Each structure stands twice: as structure tokens, then as C-alpha cells.
């Protein structure tokens, strides 16, 4: 998962890759150099295609090229694999600039950097000491080793659904007395490699597992956490796609074969940048070898984006309906075995917190995945999550450890059918996405080390500390719920709930079904998620007062490629600052809002850069007093006149919806239900359920 909404961010995001290629004799090339000169071999390239209008974007999409997720209102970044790809752009009348002239060279440079690091490093500072990326077999070996070296603490297990190519998906469970699986402790889930090319996401997940296991009994904080909670780590959610990506990516080798400097290509990127799984035809498993052969170079075309395939809000904004697109959502919600695995895992455990790791952009993302004023399938605004304050507080604390930005998922771009779209709203367990690293899907391995352990002002913190904070939250009963009571020793207690989960186009049925075993003392304590799902809880929306506290209007004309600044001062307390940009033509302008600091510098606090025909608007909640700069930017339009309006408002909170749900708690003996009771419990609350009828029947039966 990657995003870049404006040009400045795009340039920063590729700076390291471009610098590496330039150092090897490459550099930025004008579009006129594409395709390669006669006699030269065309290398895969990363280019930025100018798409100033919606029609340009539609024309580009229709070409069927390898579109990346680096895109904004006036550009899309594309991988050109052949000279014919460049010719298709030219024939379509599209302009572009070459950003990375040779992706094969870039991959080779990364591999060379990894070889040099491994040669110079006896053991990295990572918990495992690993000094290079793992392959799929390496993950399996490490999980086996972890379980064998830490009996009673680590248990390896297989998830229920094999991949489309028949691979078993494995995870490890880590806890003090790990084999007492039904003892009522809360569960924290860590995942990696939903997207095949995002290699650091799996590395961080498995390193965290190794970190916990090796420090149990030596680090007081970790030892205490593993007594309070269980940790489940699934480092490779998408084994088919990852195997293709890492095997092809690690083969690229442009080392000289003799002193004369002749370069030999042992492989092209192939599937090195594959994103999706191995679903070639909806409803059918791939034939032997079909996934690797069917994928175009780079692996962009084939498969389902499994992080758009989860059931919650499936089929909505930010998920493509056509298989050729990078974010193809699949034939239906949970159509893929990879998402069904995670669904089964979360539905069968009380997962009170989870992190899904991805690359890149240095972000900690929290629900919701679509903007709060988006009208959902039910005809009402989606609003903010009912737990927004707590989700933000934890997200901010985690981001303070790694230097990432903490924000809603929708602030990156709208997405639906993602892990937290479903897991948070179906269970109430807090969920986050980490976008690891600033620049690349799989950068040189030293950057993986740096992101995990932290560098500079974050040295000794990094994602490791952020993960520990997430685990502490998952273990904290103030962030979930607790059910206590008395029941017969040895009885099986079951919490179950069946409900309809809305997709963007209908509903699916979900069932949460978890168990625990009552201990010898006859008392139990069960850490669970709240009985009422966030999806049906009252949502907070803001109603803006009809009259502004203050309003100021500006007019002007901005020449192409130029910007115009206007000044606005917030001199009173207000709940909302709205800045709206309008113009009378179908051109495309952008809007930025910057706050003036005490030293005169400017800090961007909001931006809007929609597509052609979409007028721009920035909303700032509780704006700080002081001076603001309202910047109108014109990247490519003629020179339309515009009107800019800045307004301060008071707002009132309004709740929409609001149901109360219950768990159904049953007490069972050998599969026979002896007692059934409803339990209502809120987040941070405790409910008592003494199962007296079960006790009577137990002793009499």
C-alpha cells in the first residue's frame, strides 16, 4: 500500500532510488529518450505520466500498462517494461518524464548493497541477527526454530486454508504457558506480506516474534506482557505472491563477468514488484506454474489485491472492479483463501488489537478508511469511528516512537475491503496499518534494520517500541472488556455472535465464535471485545452552525505553474475552519492551507488536490489561533479566475445510529449446551456471569 498525493511528496519518495541509479551513471532522462535508441536493450523504467484531466487518466488506464499506486490529481507513475509500452503512451498522446531509467539496474544496486552489508556484518542488530531478506523457506525455518527453541512459550500452527497454489500458511502463537489455549487471555495479532512486494512487512513481523521469545524471562516488560496476553504472528499472509516477488527480485545481478566490464543479466525484475495473489481467473485455482507465467514483467497484472478483499465495506471507494487494476477487489467479499485465513483467525479468537504491516510512506494508519462525510451504503455519512479519540491517542503514541505520521486511513486515500475495514467494525478490536519506510517497496536491508530499531532521535525505539505499545494496549482491560464469574471446572464456555456485515453493495453473514476452558478453581476471567460492534454503535457527526463566526472572501487569477497566497487570521476560538476554492471553468486548481509559525516559517496543515471538475475544500478542526496562508496552485490549467472563501464555524455533535448488542454466552459439557445467557458489556467494562444452572446440570449429569 503506497500513496502520494502531491508532486513534492512524489519527488521525495523516489529520491533514494534515483540517487542510486544516477550514481551508477543513470540519472533523470527526458521523455525523448524513450524508447531506447536503436541497438540498445530497453530496460524497465519508472516514469511519471502527465494526466492533468480525468480524460487523460481514463485514456492511460485503457492502455493496460503497469500503473503503480503513486498517483495524484495530475499524474500517474507507470512502469514501462518494453519499448512497446512507451510507444503506446506516445500513440495515445500522453507526455511523461523518466524517473528511474533502469529498474533492473536499481534492483541490482539494491542486491549489491545487500551483499555488501551481509559481507561486512557478522550479525545485524535485529533480534535474529539476520543481515539479508528472507525467502519463503527461510520464514518456515525460522518459525520452526522458534517453536523448537522455546517449548511452552511458542507454538507454530497452520491456518485453515491453503493458498491457491496449495501452500500452507503458518503462524506462531507466543505466550507464557502457550499450550493453555483457552484460558481467556486477550490476543494481539501481527501480520505481514499481504502485498507480495512489500518485503520489510514480513521481516518486521517475524523479528517481533523472535524479539518476544528471546526476551521472555530476561526483559521484565516483555515477560509480564506475555503473561497477560497472547501474541499471534503471521509473517506471510500471501505466500504465493511473495514467493514470486522475492525469488525474482533477488536474482537480478548485473555484476561484471570479467575485467573488461561486460554485464550479464541473470534475470529481469519478472515478478519482483508483484502486489497481488495468484488468482488468474476468478473462481479457479491456477494451473501449475501459471501464476509466474501469466504475470507480465513486474507482476502487476494478475491476481486479487487481498487487502481489498475483506468483507467490511467490500466493493466501495478505492477498490477496483477490473482484474487488471492493482487494487482489484476480487469476485466477491472473502473470495480469496488469504483473507478467509485471517477472517477465521480473528473470528475464532478475542483479538483485542492488531497491526497489518505494509510498505511504504512512514505512516501509522487507523480507521476509518473512507472520509467521514462519505455517504455509505445505508444513505448516511460514514462519520468517525466511535472510538476515534482512543484510536488516535494510541496511533499518536506509536508514531512518536518511529517518527511516522499518525492519521486516518482515508487521509492517505479512500480504501474499502481492507483488514481494519472488517476487523475493527466486526469485532471492536483496535486495528492499525503500518506503512514502513519512506521510499521503496523493498529497500536495501540496512533500512529494514533501521526502521525496526529506530535511528537518529528515534534510536532505540522505532517500530519495535511502537509494536510493544500496541501489545500493551491489547493487554489493557481498559481498552477492551472483561467477563467474570463462576462455572464448573473443566466446562467449555463459548461466546458467539452472528450478524450481517454490510459491504458497499449488500451484506454478508459473519460469525464470531470463541471458547475458553474453566480452570480447576471454578472461577473464570475472560478478556473479550465489547458486545456491541463499532459498526452499529452511535457514530459522531458534526453539524455546522448555519451562520459563520467569521467569513472572508478572496478572488484572483493564477497563471499556469504558479501559485497565489492569501492571508487569513484566526483570532478566536472556533470548532472548524473551512477553506473552499471555487472557479467557473472545468479547469483544475489545488488548495493548500499553511499555518505561520512564530519564526515566520510555514507548516502545511491541510491540502486538497482533487481531479478535474472537483472543487477543493480543506477542513481544520479546532484551528489554533494565529496567521494562515491560503495557497491556490495552478499546475496545468489555462488561467481561470477563482473565488476563495475562509469561514470559521461553531459545531454541535450529533449522534447517528446507536444499537446495543449482546454476546451469547453458553456453558457446555462434551458439546452439549447446559446454559445459555446474554451478556452486554462495554469497552472498559466488566460483566459478571455466574453460570449456576450449568453447575447444577454439570453435577447432576
H helices present in 522-579, as ranges = none
Active site residue 604: no
- Name every residue whose Cβ is closer than 8 Å to that of residue 469 and which is 6 or more positions away in sequence: 394, 397, 398, 401
Spatial separation of the C-alpha atoms in residues 596 and 598, rounded to whole Å? 7
Residues near 391 by beta carbon (within 8 Å), at least 6 away in sequence: 366, 367, 385, 430
CB distance 298 to 244 below 8 Å: no
Q: What is the DSSP letter of 458?
A: G
Please pick, among 165, 198, 336, 435, the residue that the annotation labels catalytic.
435
Residue 181: partners with Cβ closer than 8 Å, 6 or more residues away: 173
DSSP H helices in 133-233: 136-149, 199-215, 220-228
Collapsed DSSP state (helix, strand, coil) of residue 686: strand
CB-CB contact of 672 with 657 (8 Å):
no
Q: What share of the chain is helix, strand, coil (3-state, %, to 5)?
A: 25, 30, 45
Residue 388 contacts residue 363 (beta carbons within 8 Å): no
What H or E segment, with its residue span, contains residue 465? helix 462-475
- Kindly report the three-state secondary structure assignment for every residue of 545-561: CCCCCEEEEEEEECCCC
- Is beta strand 602-608 parallel, antiparallel or unpaired with respect to 154-158? unpaired
- C-alpha R_g of the chain: 27
Q: Is the peptide bond before 356 cis (omega within 30 degrees of 0)?
A: no
As given in the structure block, the three cell numbers for residue 218 are: 530476561
> Which residue numbers are catalytic?
435
Amino acid at each position: 500500500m503506497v500513496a502520494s498525493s502531491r508532486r513534492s511528496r512524489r519527488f521525495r519518495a523516489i529520491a533514494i532510488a534515483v540517487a542510486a541509479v544516477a550514481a551508477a551513471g543513470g540519472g533523470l532522462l527526458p521523455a525523448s529518450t524513450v524508447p531506447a535508441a536503436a541497438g540498445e536493450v530497453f530496460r524497465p523504467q519508472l516514469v511519471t505520466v502527465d494526466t492533468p484531466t480525468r480524460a487523460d487518466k481514463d485514456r492511460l488506464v485503457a492502455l493496460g500498462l503497469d500503473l503503480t499506486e503513486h498517483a495524484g490529481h495530475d499524474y500517474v507513475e507507470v512502469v514501462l517494461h518494453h519499448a512497446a509500452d512507451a510507444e503506446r503512451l506516445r500513440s495515445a498522446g500522453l507526455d511523461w518524464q523518466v524517473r528511474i531509467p533502469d529498474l533492473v539496474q536499481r534492483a541490482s544496486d539494491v542486491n549489491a548493497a545487500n551483499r555488501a552489508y551481509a559481507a561486512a556484518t557478522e550479525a545485524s542488530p535485529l533480534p535474529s541477527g539476520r543481515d539479508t531478506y528472507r525467502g519463503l523457506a527461510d520464514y518456515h525455518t525460522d518459525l520452526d526454530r522458534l517453536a523448537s527453541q522455546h517449548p511452552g512459550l511458542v507454538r507454530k500452527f497452520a491456518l485453515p486454508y491453503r493458498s491457491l497454489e496449495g501452500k500452507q500458511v503458518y503462524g506462531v502463537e507466543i505466550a507464557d504457558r502457550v499450550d493453555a489455549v483457552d484460558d481467556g487471555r486477550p490476543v494481539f495479532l501481527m501480520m505481514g506480506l499481504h502485498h507480495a512486494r512489500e518485503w520489510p512487512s514480513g521481516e518486521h513481523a517475524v523479528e517481533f516474534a523472535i524479539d518476544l521469545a528471546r526476551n521472555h524471562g530476561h526483559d521484565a516488560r516483555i515477560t509480564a506482557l506475555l503473561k497477560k496476553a497472547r501474541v499471534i504472528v503471521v509473517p506471510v499472509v500471501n505466500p504465493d505472491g511473495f514467493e514470486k516477488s522475492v525469488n525474482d527480485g533477488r536474482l537480478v545481478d548485473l555484476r561484471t563477468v570479467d575485467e573488461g566490464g561486460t554485464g550479464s543479466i541473470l534475470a529481469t525484475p519478472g515478478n519482483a514488484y508483484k502486489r497481488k495473489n495468484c488468482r488468474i481467473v476468478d473462481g479457479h485455482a491456477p494451473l501449475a506454474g501459471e501464476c509466474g507465467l501469466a504475470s507480465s514483467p513486474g507482476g502487476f497484472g494478475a491476481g486479487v489485491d487481498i487487502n481489498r478483499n475483506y468483507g467490511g465495506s467490500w466493493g466501495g471507494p478505492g477498490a477496483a472492479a477490473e482484474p487488471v487494476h492493482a487494487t482489484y477487489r476480487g469476485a466477491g467479499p472473502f473470495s480469496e483463501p488469504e483473507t478467509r485465513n485471517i477472517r477465521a483467525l480473528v473470528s475464532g479468537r478475542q483479538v483485542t488489537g492488531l497491526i497489518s504491516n505494509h510498505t511504504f510512506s512512514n505512516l501509522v494508519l487507523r480507521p476509518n478508511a473512507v472520509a467521514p462525510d462519505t455517504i455509505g451504503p445505508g444513505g448516511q455519512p460514514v462519520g468517525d469511528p466511535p472510538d476515534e479519540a482512543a484510536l488516535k491517542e494510541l496511533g499518536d503514541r506509536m508514531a512518536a516512537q518511529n517518527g511516522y505520521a499518525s492519521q486516518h486511513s482515508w487521509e492517505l486515500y479512500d480504501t474499502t475491503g481492507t483488514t481494519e475495514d472488517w476487523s475493527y467494525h466486526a469485532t471492536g478490536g483496535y486495528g492499525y496499518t503500518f506503512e514502513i519506510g519512506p521510499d521503496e517497496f523493498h529497500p536495501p536491508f540496512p533500512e529494514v534494520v533501521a526502521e525496526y530499531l529506530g535511528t537518529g532521535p528515534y534510536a532505540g525505539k522505532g517500530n519495535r517500541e511502537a509494536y510493544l505499545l500496541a501489545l500493551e494496549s491489547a493487554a489493557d482491560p481498559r481498552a477492551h472488556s472483561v467477563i467474570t464469574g463462576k462455572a464448573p471446572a473443566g466446562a467449555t464456555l463459548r461466546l458467539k455472535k452472528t450478524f450481517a456485515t454490510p459491504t458497499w453493495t449488500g451484506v454478508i453473514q459473519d460469525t464470531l465464535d470463541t471458547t475458553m476452558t474453566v480452570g480447576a478453581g471454578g472461577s473464570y476471567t475472560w478478556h473479550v471485545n465489547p458486545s456491541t460492534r463499532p459498526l452499529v454503535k452511535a457514530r459522531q457527526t458534526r453539524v455546522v452552525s448555519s451562520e459563520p463566526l467569521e467569513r472572508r472572501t478572496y478572488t484572483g487569477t493564477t497563471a499556469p505553474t504558479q501559485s497565489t497566497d492569501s492571508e487569513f487570521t484566526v483570532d478566536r476560538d472556533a470548532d472548524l475552519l473551512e477553506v473552499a476554492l471555487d472557479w467557473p471553468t472545468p479547469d483544475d486548481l489545488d488548495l493548500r492551507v499553511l499555518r505561520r509559525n512564530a519564526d515566520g516559517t510555514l507548516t502545511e496543515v491541510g491540502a486538497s488536490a482533487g481531479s478535474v471538475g472537483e472543487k477543493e475544500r480543506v477542513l481544520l478542526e479546532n484551528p489554533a489561533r494565529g496567521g494562515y496562508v491560503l495557497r491556490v496552485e495552478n499546475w496545468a490549467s489555462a488561467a481561470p479566475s477563482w473565488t476563495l472563501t475562509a469561514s470559521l464555524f461553531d459545531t454541535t455533535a450529533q449522534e447517528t445510529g446507536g444499537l446495543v448488542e449482546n454476546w451469547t454466552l453458553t456453558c457446555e459439557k462434551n458439546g452439549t449446551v447446559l446454559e445459555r445467557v446474554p451478556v452486554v458489556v462495554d469497552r472498559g467494562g466488566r460483566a459478571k456471569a455466574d453460570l449456576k444452572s450449568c453447575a447444577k446440570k454439570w453435577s447432576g449429569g
